[in-house]
Amino acid sequence: MEPRILILDGNQRASLAAVRSLGSRGLNVTVGESSLTSLAGASKFAGKHMLYPNPYEYPREFFETIKEYVAEQGISFLLPITEATSYVILQYRDELPEHVTLPFPDSGAVEQLANKNELFKLAPKLDIPVPKTTFCENALEGVAALSKTTSFPVVLKPYKSRILAEGAIESTQVIIANSRSDAESALTSHSYFNYPFTVQEYIEGAGQGVFALFDHGKPICFFAHRRLREKPPGGGVSVLSESVAVNERLKQSAEQLLRHAKWHGVAMVEFRVANDGTGYLMEVNPRFWGSLQLAIDSGVDFPWLLYLISTGQDIPGIHWRHRRVRWLLGDLDRLYLVLKSPVSDYSLGAKFIEIMRFLRPNRRNRHEVNRVNDLRPFWFELKQYLRALRN
């Protein structure tokens, strides 16, 4: 029987990268999204496009639609891309038809690492550095913890970035509070602090990630990149990035953690590297990341490798190479933010330099979305972009 693949979250750039990876190898790929059309669905490598209810507002209805579609269409490989769809699918995974492969470890392993409260209890037992941490079950415990805190800023970190509760998904946000009053205000202003969270010391340094693929506790490959430009400019989504050699100390920590959990599938292990070189564990996400196309272009084709290990096939040799990838419209957004910034942040000279950097051709850069052999996703993205500007 021909394998049939369903990739969810079609408006994500990582979904587009996965569709291109698997569809270009002749596999039958369907794209799902909560809109009638999508970025990944516009690709020539996508065979069909399916519509499902918004998983944030209707998680159970979303799952029922996926379950029915999987059974009717004979889907053999189901790949959620975002945390929202992943957590809903994992919540009800036992109800999926038996013939469906879901490339995740068992739910206990996911909870152990994706739940930040559990993660920060486990990591010190494995001698993996974490910031000084106070565990809180709710906002009242947080206020009590803050009354004993003398050093600021502190980081208020919900136990998950997406919380599935009471028939909906609630998005959370990590908050850096510069004072006790700021922290207490945040605790009383956001309902997600009624769920478990941590109060952590703030680590001065730079964020670094290790991207990994594991096969039932066995490491298959690792990858790392460096952000050259971000949106917003002060730190955020990568709009220009390059592949780099994996930091061995961070790789060692990530591998130890994922081996312990007998991890299966992909994982994004985030660290903050302090000025003394110590890599403090920040979080583990059981999903693909935004700059997935960079890894594929660099010779580490995570979607294809994930499919191979999930279907019991042999893994080819993996040899990474240096590449740079640019998300053009994201980079344009970044330039706009720079240009409208006050001169205290960017002088007129600095703004002129940023314009020249944006316009200067660079043959080393590959474009993430707009590709000559598959241009329709870029036209789709451009139309959406222009429509948003008009509104």
Position 1 scores a pLDDT of 67
SS3 212: strand
DSSP state of 302: H
Report how far residue 390's alpha carbon sits from residue 163's, in angstroms, rounded to the nearest whole number: 33
The pTM (predicted TM-score) of the whole model is: 0.95
Q: Are residues 306 and 360 in the same domain?
A: no
Per DSSP (E only), the strands in 150-264 are 154-158, 162-165, 168-171, 175-177, 197-201, 205-215, 218-231, 237-244
CB 68 within 8 A of CB 47: no
Question: Tens of pLDDT along 222-241?
Answer: 999 999 999 999 888 999 99
Domain of 24: which CATH number? Answer: 3.40.50.20
Residue 121 lies in a domain: no
Q: Are residues 318 and 346 in the same domain?
A: no
Q: Are residues 297 and 355 in the same domain?
A: no
Residue 110 lies in a domain: no
Who contacts 292 (Cβ-Cβ below 8 Å, separation ≥6)? 13, 14, 17, 18, 302, 303
Q: Are residues 169 and 257 in the same domain?
A: no
Please give the distance of CA 186 from its chain centroid, rounded to a whole number.
24
Rounded (5°) CA angle 356-374-42: 105
Nearest partner of 241 among 324, 365, 322, 300, judged by Cα: 324
Position 378 scores a pLDDT of 98
Q: Show the domain range for 73.
A: 4-102
Nearest partner of 4 among 353, 287, 311, 272, judged by Cα: 311
Q: Which helix (H) or strand (E) holds 180?
A: helix 180-189
Specify the residue for token string 């941590």: 198
Q: Give the domain-ending residue among 167, 201, 235.
A: 201
Nearest partner of 388 among 349, 344, 330, 326, judged by Cα: 330
Position 34 scores a pLDDT of 98
Q: Are residues 217 and 313 in the same domain?
A: yes
Q: Are residues 279 and 295 in the same domain?
A: yes
Q: Give the domain-ending residue among 162, 185, 201.
A: 201
Residue 38 lies in a domain: yes
CB 295 within 8 A of CB 327: no
Q: How many CA atoms lie within 13 A of 72 on its CB side?
A: 7
Q: Give the domain-ending residue among 181, 201, 221.
A: 201
Q: Are residues 314 and 332 in the same domain?
A: no
CB 212 within 8 A of CB 258: yes
Residue 120 lies in a domain: no
Q: Are residues 289 and 217 in the same domain?
A: yes
Instruction: Name the stretches of the chain with pLDDT < 50.
Output: none
Residue 115 lies in a domain: no
Please give the distance of CA 137 from its chain centroid, rounded to a whole number.
26
Beta bridge partners of 177: 154
Report how far residue 391's alpha carbon sits from residue 387's, in angstroms, rounded to the nearest whole number: 6
SS3 78: strand
- Look up residue 160 and give its two tokens: 């998950």
Total of domains in the chain: 4
Domain of 277: which CATH number? Answer: 3.30.470.20
CB 16 within 8 A of CB 377: yes
Residue 127 lies in a domain: no
Who contacts 152 (Cβ-Cβ below 8 Å, separation ≥6)? 177, 178, 179, 180, 183, 202
- Look up residue 2 and give its two tokens: 């021909």
Report in angstroms the alpha-carbon separations of 43 from 13, 20, 81, 285. Answer: 11, 7, 17, 26
Rounded (5°) CA angle 114-117-119: 55
Position 83 scores a pLDDT of 93
- Look up residue 54 and give its two tokens: 């918004």
Residue 140 lies in a domain: yes
The gap between the terminal CA atoms of the chain, to the nearest Å, is 47
Q: Are residues 10 and 96 in the same domain?
A: yes
Q: Are residues 225 and 292 in the same domain?
A: yes
Residue 125 lies in a domain: no
